[in-house]
Structure 1
Amino acid sequence: MPAPLSAAAPAFEIVKGEREVLVLSEAAVEANLDLADLLDGLQEGFAGLERGEVQSPHRPEITVPEAGFSLAMSAWQPGMQICTKIVNVFEANLDIGLPNHLAMINLFDPATGATTCVMDGTYITGIRTAASAVLSARLLSNPASTVATIIGAGVQAREHLRLLPLVRDLDRINICSLDPEHAARLAETHPLASAHDDIESAVRESDIVCLATHSSTPVIDASWLSPGTHISSVGYYPPEGELPPAVARQHRLFVETPDAFLPAPVGCSELTGLDPASGTALGAVVIGTAEGRTDDTEITVYKAMGIGMEDLVAANLVYRSAVASGATPTFAW
């Protein structure tokens, strides 16, 4: 019987050769990422997660004792490039003028697995984390919210400040920090913002409270939250964290996925010991299989851990915009 005909050469004769890979700097990434599109894209991404369309596996961690840690995060959804990010968190970088979070993202063609793009992931890591929290405010806060408080004065606080006015018509945004000078300098960057020295009074008057710190202990007291407040938390500092455990246990809790209840580095320290059934996935609210806010007095809580889907959405938006604009440079891979 004759062997089946095949147009393909034998594997040993095939070499990759040179392929052009798009390279995008941090500045190019920021220039190609529209923030309104990011919020809408993340909303669709959460819906895709809930419908089972997105693969976003658990992230492994490498720890460098007394220095920092490295996380690998990947995700894919049909219609998008495969996305893999490495993010390194080294706190001492701030002492030498480097961000304490540094990241690199690679995109791959889902038809062949070939590399299509290498982009800086530092900006994306900051903006997509804040955007998921601000999206939770769009979905869960009282639509009549007028006052927000951001606790923190770092990268996450900066990005929250940029994004919050896109989802609510706010009168003012309080900035609170353990470093009053940093709070004042951040507040100067936005016309709605003002530094606030008294964290308790700022929280008590707020409709939306955003925790955006790198604190190993709670930064507010659960009793400060007024009826109807929406609170979000993006800080990651095992084995404790910035969100008081009572907040997540006493009020309606929303998460990215049920993985939030797993031990760190996958899940959130503040949710340790909680039944995963106590949390509602944000995507379930988006597609209407779960209820969001039920009345004007309910306190809603969103605890973020950061997942690969968020990088996938942001990086694909950047890539599409850059390709459409004819962006260069490239390198031969």
Structure 2
Amino acid sequence: MNDVLVLDRAATAAALDPHRLMAAVSEALVAVARGTVSAPPRTAAFAPGGLLGAMPGYVPGLGLAAKLVSVFADPARPGRSSHRGVVALFDPEDGRPLAFMDAEPVTAWRTAAAATHSALALARPGPVVVVGTGAQARAQVRLLAALRPTEPVTVAGRDPAAARALAALHPAGLAASLADAAESANGIETAVREAATVYCCTGATRPVLRRDWLAPGTHVSSVGGSHGPELDAGTVRDAALFAEWHGAADTPPPSGAHELQGLPEGRTVTLLGSVLSGEAPGRTSPDGLTVFKSTGHAALDVAAAYVVHRTALGHPPE
């Protein structure tokens, strides 16, 4: 195994080229929707303080990989959780290990890429809000800064200082307005009421977003909620629902989404990959509420691992 590439957290993060990642994640989402991905539902072993999840997957054209990731509450930061682990990339032709990389940036950035694709496909023009100040929110803000550096982004969270620090990761000129939003009496509600797109990136155990805060036509990309629902029942009830895979609604947590359990008969969940490929409609009404509920999917880890490996080896974009 002398030729196996081993990347620590910094090296993994440095190799996650945003534009290559967006292209690979789109390819993976479409493959999931078309049924060409091989990936069993996520499994997990539960410990007193958290869980260890296993996510293997194969995506044609991108590769074969598996992730082991632990999700544990962080006692030093109430309401937040850590995601630590490794991603192993294998040669899909002969099974040779090709690379081992840190799972935390892989998970955060591939999740942000999927959420961003949902907004690009489903959201109407208007103000963008990121709810949360942890690792996932940080990846989301960094990705938006790389892809759309001139588009203002408001950061809202329970900690105004953390929201200001995160807002500073976006291009200069946004910090003052972001600080004002974060320091309002209820920063999240105030910011969300004005939003066209809301990226909800929290470690919530109960809803942090409420239906009556959302204006007509709002799009919500909800990627948090490993330990409980991030969205309230009213938001789910009134929205057109989108997800990476049907298991988000058809399987129980931790593989499925808390918010999508027990949907009424007749409620449909459209796969985001089908929208990206043009095989299913996205937004059908300018005033309709849309929700992308992410649970993560092994195909997205494969996509990110593929990008990390090729970028680290100096291969040019396809």
Q: TM-score, normalised by structure 1?
A: 0.85
- The aligned counterpart of 1:281 is 271
Which of 120, 138, 161 aligns to 1:158? It is: 138
Name the SS of the counterpart of 1:324 in structure 2: coil
- Shift in Å, 1:137: 0.5
Question: What is the rounded CA distance, in whole Å, between the counterparts of 2:315 and 2:209 in structure 1?
Answer: 45
CA distance in 2, matches of 1:31, 1:174: 25
Correspondence 1:56 to 2:39: yes
Indicate the residue corresponding to 1:75 in structure 2. 57
* Residues 114 and 108 of structure 1: CA distance in aligned 2, closer, same or farther (over 3 Å): same
Counterparts in 2 of 1:321 and 1:202: CA distance versus 1, 3 Å: same
- CA gap 1:325/1:37 in 2 versus in 1, 3 angstroms: closer
For 2:266 and 2:36, locate their aligned partners in 1 and report how far apart those are by CA, in whole Å.
Answer: 21
Equivalent residue runs for 1:99-118 within 5 Å: 100-118=82-100
Give secondary structure in 2 for the equivalent of 1:209.
strand
Of residues 293, 309, 312 in structure 2, which corresponds to 1:319? 309
Deviation at 1:314, TM superposition (A): 0.5
1:219-298 matches, cutoff 5 A? 219-238=208-227, 240-261=228-249, 262-274=251-263, 275=265, 277-298=267-288
Deviations 1:166-222 (A, max 9, x none): 566765322111122211221222233513233222111111111111111111210
Change (3 A) 1:253 1:114: same
SS at match of 1:306: coil
Paired with 1:38 and 1:230, the residues of 2 have a C-alpha distance of: 22
**Counterpart for residue 5 of structure 1:** none
Match of 2:7 in 1: 24
Map of 1:186 onto structure 2: 166
Cα-Cα RMSD: 2.1
Structure 2 Cα separation of the partners of residues 63 and 308 of structure 1: 19
- Identity of counterpart residues, as a percentage? 38
User: Over residues 28-87 of structure 1, what are the superposed CA-to-partner deviations in whole Å (9 max), with x where a residue is unaligned?
Assistant: 21222210111121111111112222112111101111x221101111122333100101
Give the equivalent residue in structure 1 for 2:129: 149
Decide whether aligned partners of structure 1 residues 87 and 94 sit closer, same or farther in structure 2, where only a CA change above 3 A counts.
farther
What is the aligned residue count?
A: 302
Report the CA distance shift for 1:201/1:92 in structure 2 as closer, same or farther (over 3 A): closer
1:253 is aligned with what amino acid? L
Q: Deviations over 1:121-175 (max 9, x none)?
A: 1111111111111110011111x32x11111111111111122355667653221
Alignment correspondent of 1:174: 154
Q: Match for 2:248: what amino acid?
A: A
Report whether the alignment pairs 1:303 with 2:293: yes
Structure 1 contact 93–100 (Cα < 8 Å) conserved: no
Give 1:237 shift.
3.4
Aligned counterpart for 2:74 among listed residues 79, 89, 92:
92
Matched residues in 1 for 2:311 and 2:61: separation?
A: 15
Q: Which runs of 5+ in 2 are unaligned?
A: none
- 3-state SS in 2 of match to 1:122: helix
- Is contact 1:21-1:115 (8 Å) kept? yes
C-alpha separation in 2, matches of 1:187 and 1:158: 9
CA contact (8 A) 2:226 2:254 kept: no
Match of 1:10 in 2: none
Pick which of 212-221 and 183-192 moved more. Answer: 183-192
* Distance change (3 Å), C-alpha of 1:260 and 1:37: same
**Mapped contact 1:176–1:183 kept (Cα < 8 A):** yes
Matched, 1:199 2:206: no
Which SS does the other structure have where 1:111 is aligned? coil
Asked if the contact 1:127/1:159 (under 8 Å) is kept, the reply is: yes
